[in-house]
Amino acid sequence: MLKDKVAVVTGGSRGIGKAIALKLAEQGASVVVNYTSNSQAADEVVMAIQEMGCKALAVKADVSKADDIENLIKATEAELGKIQILVNNAGITRDGLLIRMKEEEWDDVLNINLKGVFLATKLIGKKMLKEKQGSIVNVTSVVGLMGNAGQANYAASKAGVIGFTKSVAKEFASRNINVNAVAPGFIQSDMTDKLSAEVIENYMQAIPLGRLGVANDVANLVSFLVSDHSNYITGQTIQVDGGMYI
């Protein structure tokens, strides 16, 4: 379904990003697995993709730095070709109640989660505009819609991504480039493993489908949004949250 397409997945070495990278490869895409610190994890994803018979490349880049993204684009074009799919998945949390939140914790989260999406979309989007084709999917969070105590920075960044997605969808639509967002709810990952059993129990009660999500639930939606099956969908934020926020 995605044969001959080149996809960049930021933060693709673990968690939801890893599931997305593997899913896009399963559909036939060549995949760039971007990472910031754990090259071993990224290499493992690359190897898994190569075993599936697809091309893959691990590229270290901090999405909040324009130079890093330019390098990622160069490396991708040299090894795999022009980019048709961008999944802005890289994200971090620095949780804490607002009153105690340090300025640095605010800045770190906004830089990676929001500025990173801006930079990658701007620089890679510029290439897509020339080709007049492409799909961009931004991974936001249900927290960006409903808010969450202790995550003012994260929620602000994710709500920002939703507004960004809608605006860019309008700007890029005339060039046949769809821009959408996916908003995962409670997905089992490294990020949620840090939470206490009590917190998890509370969340479970708030999820109508009665279970936590898995990374693959998100990956399935992303693979749909970057495929030809979603050509008439743009500017949307689609929740994958088991009905947690309705």
Partner 1 sequence: MFEKVKEIIIDQLGLDEDVVIERSTSMMRDLEADSLDAVEIIMAFEDEFDIEIPDEEAEKFDNIGDIVDYIEAKLN
Cβ atoms 32, 7 nearer than 8 A: yes
Q: How far is the CB of 187 from partner 1 (least distance, A)?
A: 35
Q: Which of residues 15-54 bind partner 1 (CB under 8 A)?
A: none
Instruction: Closer to partner 1 by CB, 33 or 179: give it.
Output: 179
Rounded to 10 degrees, what is the CA torsion of 80, 10, 17, 114?
A: -150
Min dist CB 194 to partner 1, Å, is 43
Cα(96)–Cα(3) distance, rounded to whole angstroms?
43
Tell me the C-alpha distance between 80 and 55, whole Å.
Answer: 7
Q: Is 126 in the site for partner 1 (CB under 8 A)?
A: yes
171 interacts with partner 1 by CB under 8 A: yes
* Least distance (Å) between residue 166 CB and partner 1: 17
Q: Which of 103, 174, 197, 198 binds partner 1 (CB under 8 A)?
A: 174
Per CB under 8 A, 130 contacts partner 1 = yes
Question: Are residues 183 and 140 in contact, defined by beta-carbon separation less than 8 angstroms?
Answer: yes
Is position 129 an interface residue for partner 1 (rule: CB under 8 A)? yes
Q: Is 131 in the site for partner 1 (CB under 8 A)?
A: no
* Sole window of 104-112, 171-179, 205-213, 238-246 interacting with partner 1 (rule: CB under 8 A): 171-179
Catalytic residue among 154, 203, 232, 245: 154
DSSP state of 5: -
Query: Is-catalytic flag, 154?
Result: yes
Judged by CB under 8 A, the stretch of 135-143, 169-177, 190-198, 222-230 that binds partner 1 is 169-177
Site for partner 1 contains 74 (CB under 8 A): no
Phi, psi (deg, nearest 5) at residue 95: -75, 150
Q: Which is nearer to partner 1, 55 or 127 (CB)?
A: 127
Read off the tokens for 106.
């605010």
Closest by CA to 23, choosing from 240, 169, 210, is 240
Q: What residues have CB less than 8 Å from 14, skipping those under 6 apart? A: 38, 41, 189, 190
Residue closer to partner 1 by CB (options 51, 131) is: 131
DSSP character string of 56-106: EEEEE--TT-HHHHHHHHHHHHHHT----EEEE---------GGG--HHHH
Q: How far is the CB of 112 from partner 1 (least distance, A)?
A: 27
Q: Which residues bind partner 1 (CB under 8 A)?
A: 126, 129-130, 171, 174-175
